C-alpha cells in the first residue's frame, strides 16, 4: 500500500500511541513538515484491544480507532522485535513481554533467558515496524520497514527505548541504546517505514 494515497499537509495529527518514547521519535520525524502531532494519551483516547495477528493489522486498528474518536488524521505504529531462534517472538507481543506497567529490563531478560533455554548460538534478530495512516472518513494506508541485526547481552546504553539496548544493527558495533538518536532515526525500522510514508503522503 502507499501509492496514490491522500496527502498529509501541515496541521494536527494524532499519534495513536500511549508509548511516550515512540511518540517522541515519531514527532521528531514529522516536525519538519509543519505537522503538530498530539498523542492519543494526551487526548484521553483509549488504546483499542490489539487483536490483529500482524504488525500491520494492529497498526490499522489503532490508527482507525484514533481517527474515528478524534476527527483528525491519525498515525499508528505497531512495531517489535523478531528473534530468529525464538520463532520470531516476541514479535507482535513485544510490549506484552514487558508486562503492565511496562518494564523492558524484564522483557530483555526474558529474551536472554529464552535464547539460553533454546541452546542456540543464533542471536540474529530484526526490528519490524508498520505505520498506518488513517483518516476520519475511513481511508487508511500502511507502510512497513525493518532493520536486521544481532542481539547482545547485557543491555548497553541509555538512549532509545524498549529493546534498543540489546539490538546492534547490521554494520554497526553499538546498540540502538548507545546510538545517537539522530543516527538511529536515519537507519531504524521506523525510519524506513516513515520514508515510504513520506514519499507517498508528504512530498
Q: Give the domain CATH number at 110.
A: 3.90.950.10
Note whether residue 122 is domain-resident. Answer: yes
Note whether residue 3 is domain-resident. Answer: no
pLDDT digits (tens, 9 = 90+) for 165-175: 999 999 999 99
Overall number of domains in the chain: 1
Domain range spanning residue 81?
A: 11-202
Note whether residue 124 is domain-resident. Answer: yes
Note whether residue 5 is domain-resident. Answer: no
pLDDT-based confidence at residue 1 (cuts at 50, 70, 90): very low
Mean pLDDT of 54-74: 95
pTM attached to this predicted model: 0.86
pLDDT digits (tens, 9 = 90+) for 25-52: 788 878 888 888 888 888 888 888 888 9
How far is it, in rounded angstroms, from Cα 43 to Cα 14?
A: 9
Note whether residue 109 is domain-resident. Answer: yes
Q: Which residues are catalytic?
A: 78
Note whether residue 114 is domain-resident. Answer: yes
Note whether residue 188 is domain-resident. Answer: yes
Amino acid at each position: 500500500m502507499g501509492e496514490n494515497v491522500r496527502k498529509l499537509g501541515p496541521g494536527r495529527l494524532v499519534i495513536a500511541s500511549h508509548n511516550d518514547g515512540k511518540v517522541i521519535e515519531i514527532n521528531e520525524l514529522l516536525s519538519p513538515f509543519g505537522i503538530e502531532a498530539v498523542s492519543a494519551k494526551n487526548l484521553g483516547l483509549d488504546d483499542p484491544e490489539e487483536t490483529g495477528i500482524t504488525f500491520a493489522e494492529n497498526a490499522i486498528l489503532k490508527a482507525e480507532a484514533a481517527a474515528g474518536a478524534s476527527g483528525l488524521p491519525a498515525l499508528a505504529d505497531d512495531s517489535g522485535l523478531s528473534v530468529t531462534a525464538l520463532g520470531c517472538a516476541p514479535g507482535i507481543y513485544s510490549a506484552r513481554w514487558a508486562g503492565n506497567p511496562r518494564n523492558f529490563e524484564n522483557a530483555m531478560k526474558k529474551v536472554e533467558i529464552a535464547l539460553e533455554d533454546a541452546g542456540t548460538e543464533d542471536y540474529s534478530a530484526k526490528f519490524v515496524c508498520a505505520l498506518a495512516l488513517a483518516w476520519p472518513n475511513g481511508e487508511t494506508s500502511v507502510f512497513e520497514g525493518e532493520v536486521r541485526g544481532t542481539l547482545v547481552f547485557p543491555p548497553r546504553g541509555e538512549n532509545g527505548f524498549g529493546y534498543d539496548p540489546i539490538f546492534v544493527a547490521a554494520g554497526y558495533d553499538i546498540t540502538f541504546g548507545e546510538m545517537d538518536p539522530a543516527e538511529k532515526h536515519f537507519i531504524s525500522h521506523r525510519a524506513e517505514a516513515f520514508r515510504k510514508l513520506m514519499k507517498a503522503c508528504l512530498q
